[in-house]
């Protein structure tokens, strides 16, 4: 998850998940990897970026709000959300934003 997501031309949507983790692991890494792999199979998924220092930030990119709603309602993702609340996160916040503009350097941009 160390690459910068190669997103299409805007508009598209970003789900920004920020968190503080508890000290214990309880298979967090395995679940996180599984969720990224599962999200990548969902209709409308465009990419993901993640970083962790004292605050963890994961940004997933989606084609439209319906794709985000479907991902939130995915049965395996619901289990991960519940485990996150019970075991992994002392606090978290999810934000959803519409990306209207993006630009960069050194990335291979997707052709339309």
Q: Where are the domains of the chain?
A: 12-99
Here the tokens at position 29 are 């890494």
CA nearest neighbour of 47 among 10, 8, 17, 79: 8
- Entry pTM: 0.88
Helix (H, G, I), strand (E, B) or coil at 1: coil
DSSP, collapsed to helix, strand or coil, labels residue 66 as helix
Helix (H) or strand (E) holding 16, with range, is strand 12-21
Query: Residues near 1 by Cβ (< 8 Å), separated by ≥ 6?
Result: 36, 48, 49, 50
Question: What are the tens digits of pLDDT across the range 49-100?
Answer: 999 888 999 999 999 999 999 999 999 999 999 999 999 999 999 999 999 9
pLDDT in tens, 10-34: 999 999 999 999 877 778 889 999 9
For 68, list phi and psi in degrees, rounded to 5.
-65, -45
**CATH 3.30.1490.20 correct for 12-99:** no
Q: Residue 69 to residues 9, 66, 73, 96: CA-CA distances in angstroms?
A: 21, 5, 6, 11
Token pair of 84, please? 């996150």
């Amino acid at each position: 998850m160390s690459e910068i997501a190669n997103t299409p031309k805007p508009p598209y949507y970003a789900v920004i998940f920020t968190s503080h983790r508890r000290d214990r692991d309880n298979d967090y890494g395995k679940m996180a990897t599984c969720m990224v792999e599962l999200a990548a199979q969902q209709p409308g998924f465009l990419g993901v970026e993640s970083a962790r220092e004292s605050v963890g930030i994961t940004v997933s990119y989606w084609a439209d709000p319906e794709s985000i709603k479907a991902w939130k309602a995915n049965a395996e993702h619901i289990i991960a959300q519940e485990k996150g609340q019970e075991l992994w996160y002392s606090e978290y916040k999810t934000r959803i934003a519409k990306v209207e503009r993006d630009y960069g350097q050194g990335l291979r941009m997707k052709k339309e």
